[in-house]
Amino acid sequence: METGDSPISWERFVFSKLTAVSLALSLCSSNLRKLVRDGGKQPAPSKLTLLDIFPSSPSYVSHAAWLEEVAIDASRALVGVRQFRSFPELLAKDSSERLHYVWQADETNFPAVDGVIFVRCILGGRLGPRSSALVAVLLQIKDRQRIAINQDILMSAEKAMQALCSTSDGQA
């Protein structure tokens, strides 16, 4: 079990950097005609997929093909980090407020989730969210040298999804 200040500090660092990258992406998208990453032209930030934003995720979410098909709007900047106590409290907030922040769980033992960001679906696919739906991206930050994929990632993600869906009836 992760204890002490190191994991908490690492989460705060990652969330503040996620905010900085979001601000940079928003600024670049409004001032540049095209975006390039690793030598390749990128889609407009208002038409990215979740895998464009989180490219290391495919091996963990291979059963969710919609992540590669559904376009989301990542042009809206995350302007800071806010804390939340529970999913019901977070989901009760206005959608525009949810879209503006990286939401960090305010307790270190929050079930399977360290943080949440929300994005708006722009173009739905055959599966997954519909156009204009708000999508909750559950973030789990690890500071370990060794990670057990099944236990640390997959089982935690399933628990987090169950907790969120039981709160929101799958509507988040």
User: In this predicted structure, what is the pLDDT of residue 82?
Assistant: 93
Query: How many structural domains is the chain composed of?
Result: 1
User: In this predicted structure, what is the pLDDT of residue 92?
Assistant: 92
Characterize 141-153 residue by residue with b for buried, 16 or more Cβ atoms within 10 angstroms of its Cβ, and e for exposed.
bbeeeeeeeeeeb
Q: Give tens-digit pLDDT for 72-100.
A: 888 888 999 999 988 889 999 999 999 99
User: In this predicted structure, what is the pLDDT of residue 124?
Assistant: 81
Q: Give tens-digit pLDDT for 10-68.
A: 778 888 888 888 888 787 777 666 667 677 777 777 778 887 777 765 555 555 677 77
Whether the Cβ atoms of residue 108 and residue 6 lie closer than 8 Å to each other: no
Average pLDDT over residues 132-141: 85
Average pLDDT over residues 107-111: 72
Query: Where in the chain does DSSP place strands (E)?
Result: 35-37, 40-42, 71-73, 81-84, 102-105, 115-123, 134-139
Sign of the Cα torsion 154, 83, 124, 24 reads negative
Under the banding of pLDDT at 50, 70 and 90, the label for residue 5 is low
List phi, psi (to 5°) of 72: -125, 160
| pLDDT exceeds 50 at position 2 | no
| pLDDT exceeds 90 at position 159 | no
User: In this predicted structure, what is the pLDDT of residue 6?
Assistant: 67
pTM of the model: 0.74
User: In this predicted structure, what is the pLDDT of residue 164?
Assistant: 65
Angle at CA of residue 155, ends 153 and 157, nearest 5°: 65
Q: Which domain holds residue 47?
A: 5-168
